[in-house]
Amino acid sequence: MSTVVDITGTDEPLVIAGRALRSRLMVGTGKYRSNQEMVDAIEASGAEVVTVAVRRVDLDRANEEGVLHHLDTQRYLLLPNTAGCYTAQDAIRYARLARAAGFTDWVKLEVIGDQETLLPDAGATIEAARELVSDGFKVLAYTNDDLISALRLEDAGCAAVMPLASPIGSGLGLMNPFNIRTIKSRLEVPVIVDAGVGTASDAAVTMEQGVDGILMNTALAEAQEPVRMARAMGLATEAGRLAYLAGRMPRRERAVPSSPTRGMLS
Amino acid sequence: MAEIRIQVNGEPKDVADGLNIEELLRSLDLQPRMIVVEHNGDILRRERYAEVLVGSGDSLELVQFVGGG
């Protein structure tokens, strides 16, 4: 007789700023070939949190570009970003504009320090985080895979800290698992790895480090088939999470047979 | 009908005199609930779109959510 093992409930929801999320994958809305492909990919990913950017309206293309014309805001929790900002003051301005849209007081804070690598400016990010937290924002802060800046962002009152796996849009995967594990081991707020994941195995490896979630955009939007990749990423994120919770077998530099060595025929 | 010159997203624009923000947005084919307005550097709460008038020389930033990561 076979027993069906109930594996539901083997993980707890991810809680950020008091909000419980079933999916540990968050996705962006940029760079898709079409709005329909974006909508379909987000649905296939299973994500509940969806990032958006704040930009000037192009008066000729407002309805096409405006992501709210395409996305069901009842279904997804919008996470506006401050992408493209190079100073704390700019990021604060973008965050306030985003909040004025009336959907959320969450913000994915990004302050970029270098145009070529798009690496974050930790000092300016911390400065902006302090101001936004005191202004009532729930700040999810993008940062380097650096323990000290992550600790400072937590001290600043961020609701989550989001170290990079590798540079934005690079698809290079998790460059420094040790740093990510170190950050996760020292922070109390959720750690969401943001940027750099390229394919499903990257997502699984990242989640196997024990982090609370992953945020990605380009890996889906620039896949040959975004919808299929979105499904793969959803599965990989969950698989990596479950593997982390399950605890992997020890690594050994020798073979150990899986079948009995006794009872062989003479 | 008299026109006034304003700045919209950094570009000069001539619009009818006497419009409020909501009317201006509609005249530009924009849905007010989709747009956030910065009026002369101050973010305008949406409830005020219908009461704030656009004046000559005003600078408006009209922003919305677009795709991003």
pLDDT tens profile A90-146: 999 999 999 999 999 999 999 999 999 999 999 999 999 999 999 999 999 999 999
CA distance to A207, A224, A231, per residue, from A201 (Å): 10, 16, 13
Q: What 3-state class would DSSP assign to A258?
A: coil
Q: Does A31 touch chain B (CB under 8 A)?
A: yes
Two tokens, residue A57: 């309206």
pLDDT digits (tens, 9 = 90+) for A250-264: 999 999 999 999 999
Measuring CA to CA, how many Å separate A44 from each of A75, A145, A233, B58?
14, 29, 9, 45
Q: What is the pLDDT of residue A64?
A: 81
For residue A63, the model assigns a pLDDT of 77
A9 three-state secondary structure: coil
The Cα B37–Cα A189 span in angstroms is 33
* Nearest-angstrom CA–CA distance, A143 and A146: 8
CB proximity list for A17: less than 8 A, separation 6 or greater: A106, A138, A159, A160
CB A171 within 8 A of CB A198: yes
CB atoms within 10 A of CB A184: 19
A200-208 vs A226-246: helix crossing angle, rounded to 10: 20
Distances (CA, A) of A230 to A13, A45, A217, A242, B60: 20, 4, 10, 18, 38
Structure tokens at A214: 């992953």
Does A237 have pLDDT greater than 60? yes
What does the alpha-carbon distance between residue B10 and residue B3 come to, in Å, rounded to a whole number?
Answer: 18
pLDDT bin (cut points 50, 70, 90) of residue A3 is: low
Instruction: Find the radius of gyration of the CA atoms of chain B.
Output: 12
Indicate the burial class of A9 (C-beta count within 10 angstroms; 0-12, 13-18, 19 or more): exposed
Count the neighbouring beta carbons within 10 Å of the beta carbon of residue A31: 16
For chains A and B, CB pairs below 8 A equal 99
Name the residue type at position B33.
Answer: R
User: How far apart are alpha carbons B52 and B20 in whole angstroms?
Assistant: 5
Cα distances from B17 to residues B24, B36, B59, in angstroms, run 10, 21, 15
pLDDT tens digits along A50-106: 999 999 999 888 778 899 989 999 999 999 999 999 999 999 999 999 999 999 999
State the best of A36, A57, A168 to mutate against chain B, taking most chain B CBs within 10 Å.
A57
> Could you tell me if A51 and A80 are in contact, meaning their C-beta atoms sit under 8 angstroms apart?
yes
Q: pLDDT by residue (tens digit) across A20-41?
A: 999 999 999 999 999 999 999 9
Q: Of B43, B45, B62, which has the smallest distance from its Cβ to A57's Cβ?
A: B62
pTM of the model: 0.91
For A142, nearest residue in chain B (alpha carbons):
B69
Question: Is A167 an 8 Å CB contact of chain B?
Answer: no
3-state class (DSSP) for residue A51: strand
Tell me the pLDDT tens digit for each residue of B33-43.
899 999 999 99
Residue B28, chain A, CB below 8 Å: the answer is: yes
How far is Cα B27 from Cα A241, in angstroms, rounded to an integer? 51
Question: Is B40 in the A-facing interface, judged by CB distances under 8 Å?
Answer: no
Chain A residues whose beta carbon lies within 8 Å of the beta carbon of residue B63: 54-57, 97
The Cα–Cα gap between A164 and A144 comes to: 6
**HEC string of chain B?**
CCEEEEEECCEEEEEECCCEHHHHHHHCCCCHHHCEEEECCEEECHHHCCCCECCCCCEEEEEEEEECC
Q: Is A199 in contact with A219 (CB distance < 8 Å)?
A: yes
Q: Which of B10, B28, B68 sits opposite A53 (nearest CB)?
A: B68
